[in-house]
């Protein structure tokens, strides 16, 4: 029977982990202070439950081999951070906060022109710690190319934040929603999240330091109705389920990769 223990960490106003979405991990390195700042402090992790089970892993990966040999690279600041949908809104605000803290940030969005403009603006304010590239999270090839871009420019990513989302700029009953709007919402919020989680996980399995994936939820994620944007609410409810499913996949291989849900609702 696997031993387990619990850690309780004070939440911060910066980011809040949903209390209903407990992150499972194995001896998380982000619980320990690193140069005065830990991932737990940065992300306001409210509760982290730690479990351990020794099982074989096939095929082998860099992070698993490093875990077995005891050669895990410490995850210390400055962190390399990737944020999808980060040329405006919450994603852009997060990028600025990480840059203020001295981290390296990759931003992306569907518009190459907007990415170029925002990168230029952020560099003027924060210096050469920001990179950017076009990425449509609805397209598997774009997400794979995003990983390649990060590996080329930063070698690895410590923190991957899945922020990209859409409500198709539509607030109306489901019966009045167009095919195009529904497809836009579902492909961006559900398919896009799946593609990003898959590629983030595959990349972090090649990193001996592991990594941390954060999925941002939204209205509807807690099960409450969203009558004027039902499709959006349904997709955000799926964020929690997908995250929990990934947690249960990787808890059993005892590796340094963590997945959490971020909640910006009051």
pLDDT (tens digit, 9 = 90+) per residue, 58-85?
445 665 566 556 666 778 899 999 999 9
156 is catalytic: no
pLDDT (0 to 100) of residue 3: 30
pLDDT (0 to 100) of residue 153: 97
Window from 17-31, 69-83, 163-177 with minimum mean pLDDT = 17-31
Q: Which whole number is the average pLDDT over 134-142?
A: 98
pLDDT (0 to 100) of residue 73: 73
pLDDT at 48 exceeding the cut of 60: no
Window from 23-27, 184-188, 214-218 with minimum mean pLDDT = 23-27
Window from 43-57, 64-78, 115-129, 200-214 with minimum mean pLDDT = 43-57
* Angstrom distances, CA of residue 47 to CA of 44, 76, 150, 258: 9, 21, 30, 13
Say which of 232, 254, 256, 258 is annotated catalytic: 232
pLDDT (0 to 100) of residue 76: 85
Return the CATH class of domain 4-263: alpha beta
Residue bearing the bigger pLDDT, 227 or 75: 227
Window from 146-155, 201-210, 250-259 with minimum mean pLDDT = 250-259
Residue bearing the bigger pLDDT, 228 or 108: 108
Domain ranges of the chain: 4-263
Above pLDDT 90, what percent of the chain? 51
pLDDT (0 to 100) of residue 49: 34
* Residues composing the chain: 266
Residue bearing the bigger pLDDT, 87 or 13: 87
Query: What is the band of 15 on the pLDDT scale with cuts at 50, 70, 90?
Result: very low
pLDDT at 50 exceeding the cut of 90: no
Above pLDDT 70, what percent of the chain? 67
pLDDT (0 to 100) of residue 71: 64
DSSP track, the chain: ---EEEEE----SS-EE-TTSPEEESS-GGGS-STT--HHHHHT--EEEEE------SS--HHHHHHHHT-PPP--SSPEEEESS-SSHHHHHHHHHHHHTT-EEEEEES-HHHHHHHHHHHHHHH-S-EEEEE--TT-HHHHHHHHHHHHHHHS--SEEEE-----TT--S-GGG--HHHHHHHHIIIIIHHHHHHHHHHHHHTT-TT-EEEEEE--TTTTS---TTSHHHHHHHHHHHHHHHHHHHHHGGGT-SEEEEEEE---
- Contacts of 64-69 with CB under 8 Å at 24 or more apart are 64/205, 64/253, 64/254, 64/255, 65/208, 66/208, 66/209, 66/256, 67/254, 67/255, 67/256
pTM for this entry:
0.75
């Amino acid at each position: 029977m696997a031993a387990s223990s619990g850690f309780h960490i004070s939440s911060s106003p910066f980011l809040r982990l949903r209390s209903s979405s407990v992150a499972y991990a194995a001896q998380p390195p982000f619980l320990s202070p690193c140069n005065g700042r830990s991932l737990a402090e940065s992300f306001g992790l409210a509760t982290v439950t730690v479990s351990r089970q020794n099982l074989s892993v096939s095929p082998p990966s860099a992070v698993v081999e490093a875990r077995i040999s005891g050669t895990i690279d410490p995850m210390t600041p400055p962190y390399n951070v990737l944020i999808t949908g980060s040329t405006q809104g919450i994603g852009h605000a997060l990028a600025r906060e990480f840059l203020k803290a001295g981290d390296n940030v990759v931003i992306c969005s569907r518009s190459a022109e907007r990415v170029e403009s925002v990168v230029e603006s952020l560099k003027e304010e924060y210096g050469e710690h920001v990179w950017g590239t076009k990425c449509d999270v609805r397209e598997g090839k774009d997400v794979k190319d995003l990983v390649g871009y990060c590996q080329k420019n930063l070698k690895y990513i410590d923190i991957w934040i899945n922020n990209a989302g859409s409500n198709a700029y539509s607030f109306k009953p489901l019966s009045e929603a167009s095919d195009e709007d529904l497809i836009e919402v579902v492909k961006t919020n559900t398919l896009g999240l799946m593609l990003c989680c898959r590629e983030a996980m595959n990349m972090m399995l090649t990193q001996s330091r592991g990594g941390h994936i954060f999925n941002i939820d939204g209205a509807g994620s807690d099960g409450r109705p969203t009558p004027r944007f039902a499709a959006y609410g349904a997709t955000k409810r799926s964020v929690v389920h997908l995250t929990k499913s990934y947690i249960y996949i990787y808890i059993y291989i005892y590796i340094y990769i963590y997945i959490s849900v971020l909640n910006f609702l009051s």
